[in-house]
Amino acid sequence: MVSKPLMASSNANSNSHTTPHSFSSQTASMQAPLLLLSNMSNLMSVKLDSTNFIVWKHQLSSILKAYSMIDFVNGTVPSPTQFLTNAEGALTTAVNLEFQLWNTKDQALLTLINSTLSPSVLSMVVGHNSAQGVWKTLEHRFISTSRANLLNLKIKLHNLKKSSESISSYLQKVKNTRDKLNAVGTLIDNEELLHIILKRLPREYGPFCSAIRTRNEPVTFEEIMVLLQTEEHSISEISDLHPMAMFASTPNNRNSNSQSSFYVNSS
């Protein structure tokens, strides 16, 4: 008769020891996403706007994968039921601890994602209460836009040409467009960029273009900029000398010069 109360007491003591430990573990699990949130937010250097979805998604996806959190936004980890079920499978009023843990992580991720959005983009996801909901909305919104933007940038790059502006101004427009393409995930290598630059130069750069195309060594963007600036200076000097040469070679000028020389000699 004595042993049973002792066993019950032992069980009670055991429960009294495990409960604080279990509560402590649960509290730590709840707090962990907040620590992750602080660490991950420090790694993000890009805020999503209408032009940089590819870069933003690449950076944020890499961070989420590094912290084993990508499953929360791609749907691999579904939300557990909010309440526990009884033996018959009916829902009870008891809150599911797994849901609490999942929801804490999900809300931490939602906070992280929202913190990386520009004000105009943030307004697009108002009303979405889960990280996955925001993620899917942004994908749907920007993937089609990114494709259209990519096509427009490619057309713009191939249509750029040097008109009356300086070589520096022309090449800066080329570089800016190339950088925008890089920002949406399309890399333009030096060979393709060189072809685009040379193709859209005026006729007076023809000999220069021929010389560059026959070179065996690759030419970087920085090198072609220096070479073109030098060529621009040479063409400008020739253009300045050309009117003087034409003036000196006209018949009236030759006669005038001869007469001037005659009168000087006769005196």
Examine residue 267 and state whether it is found in any structural domain, yes or no. Answer: no
Query: Which amino acid, one-letter code, is at 81?
Result: T
The tens digit of pLDDT for each residue in 89-129 reads 888 889 899 999 889 889 989 999 999 999 999 999 999 99
pLDDT at position 136 is 94
DSSP state of 78: P
CA distance 218 to 126: 50
**140-159 as b/e: b if 16+ CB within 10 A:** eebeeebeebbeebeeebee
- Structurally, the chain folds into a number of domains equal to 2
- Residue 211 in any domain: the answer is yes
2 lies in a domain? no
Q: For 18-67, what is each residue's pLDDT tens digit?
A: 344 443 444 444 455 566 667 777 888 889 998 788 889 989 999 999 88
Residue 12 lies in a domain: no
Looking at the fold, whether 83 and 153 belong to one and the same domain comes out as: yes
Is the same domain home to 101 and 53? yes
119/147 same-domain check: yes
Query: What residues pair up with 48 in beta bridges, in sequence order?
Result: 117
Same domain, 144 and 180: no
Whether residues 42 and 128 share a domain: the answer is yes
- Could you tell me if 116 and 93 lie in one domain? yes
3 lies in a domain? no
Residue 6 lies inside a defined structural domain of this protein = no
CB 29 within 8 A of CB 101: yes
Q: Report how far residue 108's alpha carbon sits from residue 72's, in angstroms, rounded to the nearest whole number.
A: 11
25-34, 73-82, 85-94, 144-153: least confident range: 25-34
CA distance 171 to 166: 9
Same-domain pairing of 175 and 126: no
Is residue 7 included in any domain, yes or no? no
Angstrom distance (rounded) from CA 12 to CA 18: 10
Q: Where are the alpha helices (DSSP H) in 44-165?
A: 53-66, 71-74, 97-115, 119-122, 131-159
Give the position of tokens 């096509």.
151
Domain extent for 250? 163-254
Max avg pLDDT among 133-137, 148-152, 186-190: 133-137
The model's pTM: 0.54
Regarding whether 105 and 129 lie in a shared domain, the answer is yes
Q: Where are the alpha helices (DSSP H) in the chain?
A: 3-43, 53-66, 71-74, 97-115, 119-122, 131-159, 167-183, 190-199, 206-213, 221-249, 251-266
How remote is the C-alpha of 218 from its chain's centroid? 27
Residue at which a domain ends, from 112, 141, 159: 159
Task: Answer yes or no: do 125 and 139 share one domain.
Answer: yes
Of 143, 159, 175, the residue that ends a domain is 159
